[in-house]
Amino acid sequence: MKNTKNKLANKSKLKVVTVKIGSVEDFFSNVKSVMQAADRGESINKRAATLTFINPLEMLHFLSAAKIKLINSIRKHPDTITNIAKITKRNRASVSRDVNELEKFGFVKTYEEVNPGHGRHKIVELIAPRLKLEAYL
C-alpha cells in the first residue's frame, strides 16, 4: 500500500517551483494568458508553479540561507522535523517555523507515517525537486 501511495504522489508532484520578482501587472498578465490558453482547450502545465514577489528584499527574506539549506536537506532525504533540525544543526522550533512557512507557500508537504513501535510521525517532503530563482533589480 505504501509503495502505491508514493507512486501516486510522485505522479502528481510538481517538477519545478519558480520564485521570481515581478509586478502585480506581470502576475495578472500571466494569469490572463493561462486562462486564455484554457479557453482555447490547450494543455496547462500543472507540473510547475510560480511564487512572485513584488519586492526583491521580501524574496531574499523568504529564501534565506537557512531556508535554502533546509530545502537542500529535505531534497536529499525527506525526514521528520526533529531529524532535519539535527542534520542542519538548527533549533527544532526554528526548523518547524520554517517548514510551516514553506508548506504555506507550497514548497513542502508534511504527511504522517507509521513509526513501528512508536506510533506515527510527520515526514517533511519537497513538493518539487527543482527550485528556479529569477530576480532582477
Instruction: Specify whether the backbone of 8 is left (phi greater than 0), alpha (psi in -120 to 50) or beta.
Output: alpha
pLDDT for the residue 66:
93
pLDDT for the residue 126:
92
pLDDT for the residue 5:
39
**Alpha carbon distance 5, 1 (integer Å):** 6
pLDDT for the residue 134:
85
Cα→Cα distances 130→37, 39, 72, 126, Å = 25, 29, 10, 9
pLDDT for the residue 4:
35
Fold designation for 2-134? Arc Repressor Mutant, subunit A (1.10.10)
Question: Which of the residues in the chain have pLDDT under 70?
Answer: 1-13, 45, 47
Residue 112, φ and ψ in degrees, nearest 5: -85, 145
pLDDT for the residue 71:
94
**Alpha carbon distance 82, 88 (integer Å):** 10
pLDDT for the residue 65:
92
pLDDT for the residue 92:
96
pLDDT for the residue 6:
41
Which residue type, as a one-letter code, is found at position 120? R
pTM of the prediction? Answer: 0.73
Cα→Cα distances 3→7, 9, 112, Å = 6, 10, 15
